[in-house]
Structures are given as structure tokens and as C-alpha cells.
Amino acid sequence: MNLGYSMTIDPVRSARSHQTSGFVIPSSLARLPHLNGFTLVEIVISLTIIIVIAAGAVPMFRGLREEQLAREPIIELVRLAKETRIRAMREKRPYQVAFYQGGFVASRYFSPYFQLTELTTFLSEDETGSRRLNPNADDSDSDLDAGAGEAPKTALPMAPTAPKLDDNWEEHYDLPQDVQYTLKFWSDTAETPVTGELVKLWVFQPTGICVPLKLHLDRQSATFDVEFGALTADITREVIDLK
């Protein structure tokens, strides 16, 4: 049935119908279906994935932080060993790291029979500034440096000058109260707990060589087994067990 109604499509007017205030929508985009945003399900899934990843990362970072704090005595020992070795090589005389129950101290090498009472006196004299050159030596200060502190006796103009010696250098580290540790040097048959009056010496020769050392350190939060090499005093092996 014809109602007498007809419609003519003007292509120019059709293109203008895609114009809005200030900009023109291309006809190719106008033919695209309407784009919707994220659905609620997609948002929930994305948030769930983020929460799972964060929950797994927090314990990992916490474990790294706890390991770093527990490893502090090892870090300090490595630092002191490096400094002790450098001084022994530079000054051409032996240096030592003395281990005792409360920590360890780096200084000049005095005696292979260093006792805790002498070590305590040595540390107290360092605090008061009244330390003798060698607590085990006589008044002439003859010690185990093989004459490294003496000035060169030659008058030759090209003779090398002696290195500047620091007779009073000492650095020590106090272990936390929860630390217990054992030592095993190359010549030892078993690990030795460092307790009571015991003092163990780790000697660095003027060549920079030291005795290989194995250290077992036990804390409330972690256990460490560390091995130090003889040539550079670097860590050659380390096993960490977090509790």
C-alpha cells in the first residue's frame, strides 16, 4: 500500500550528520560498533592478579631484609679482613684479626699467644689513648714487625722511603647478643667454638697471604657457613639458612 511518502538520502547531508561541535568524526569510525569499557568481571580479575603478585612479593622482600640484617657480622668481618690485608702489604709487617666471644678486632700482630686479658687491656687503652706500641713487648718496643718501623739507614739518594706506619690503628666489631660462632683454620682438625677466655688469631702476612678460614655463625634468624680463601681473604663459599 502506497501512503504517498518517500525519502531521498542526500550523501552530502549524510556526511555532515557526522559533524559535531568543533570536530568531525570520520565516516570509517562512525560505522564501527560502540566500544564499551572494562566489565566488572575484568576489573575483579585484574585486581585479584595484582593482589596475588603483591602477596608473593612481600615475604620475598621481607626475607631479603632479614637476611641482610642477619648477615651484618659477616659483612663487617669481610671489611676488616680487607683492611687488615691491605695494611699488612703496604707496611710490610703482619697484621691480625683477633676473634673472641664478644666480637673481633683488627690490629697489628703482637703475639701468637694473645690472651683475652691482654686483648681487653689493649681495647681499654685504645679508648683512653694511653696504649703502648706493643702490649707484649718490653720497653724498647721490639715486636714482630721485623724492623718495619725503623727508618732506612742508607744514605743513598735513590733509596725508597719507608711507608708511613700507623702503630695505633685498631678497629673492632661487637657481635649482637644472639650470635654464637665457631672457627676452623686450615691446620685445625675440628671447628672450635669461640667462647669463654679463648682468643683465636687470623694473621695476615706482609705478602697478603692468610690461613684459610671456615666460619660457622648461628643467629636466631639465620645460620651462615662461610669460607675465606688464603690469597685475598675473599669469600669462596657461603651457605645461608634462614630460620
Fold of 71-133+167-242: minor pseudopilin epsh fold (3.55.40)
Q: pLDDT > 70: what percent of the chain? A: 63
- Residue 184 reports pLDDT greater than 70: yes
Pairing of strands 200-204, 213-218: unpaired
Main-chain phi, psi angles of 6, to 5 degrees = -140, 155
Residue 108, helix vs strand vs coil: strand
- Parse the chain into domains and list their residue ranges: 71-133+167-242
- Residue 34 reports pLDDT greater than 60: no
What is the average pLDDT score of the chain?
76
Residues 6+ apart with CB under 8 A from 187: 211
- Residue 104 reports pLDDT greater than 70: yes
Q: Which three cell numbers stand for residue 234?
A: 675473599
Q: Which of 194, 140, 145 is nearest to 169 (CA)?
A: 145
Specify the pLDDT at position 141. Answer: 44
DSSP per position, 137-204: S-TT---SSTTTTSPP----TTPPPPPPP-TT--EEEEPPTT-EEEEEETT-SS-EE--TT--EEEEE
> Using DSSP, how many helices (H) and how many strands (E) does the chain show?
5, 11
| N- to C-terminal Cα separation, the chain | 91
pLDDT in tens, 116-152: 888 888 878 766 655 555 544 544 444 455 445 455 5
Specify the pLDDT at position 72. Answer: 92
pLDDT in tens, 185-222: 988 999 999 999 999 999 999 999 999 999 999 998 88
Distance CA 97, CA 210 (A): 11
Q: Which of 37, 41, 85 is nearest to 232 (CA)?
A: 85
Residues 6+ apart with CB under 8 A from 102: 174, 175
Give the number of other CB atoms < 10 A from CB of residue 113: 9
Specify the pLDDT at position 87. Answer: 95
Mean predicted confidence (pLDDT) in 213-241: 92
Pairing of strands 200-204, 235-242: unpaired
- Range in 2-11, 39-48, 156-165, 200-209 with the lowest mean pLDDT: 2-11
State the pLDDT confidence band at 103, using cuts at 50, 70 and 90.
very high
Mean predicted confidence (pLDDT) in 85-100: 95
Specify the pLDDT at position 154. Answer: 52
Specify the pLDDT at position 62. Answer: 55
Distance CA 233, CA 212 (A): 8
Mean predicted confidence (pLDDT) in 45-69: 68
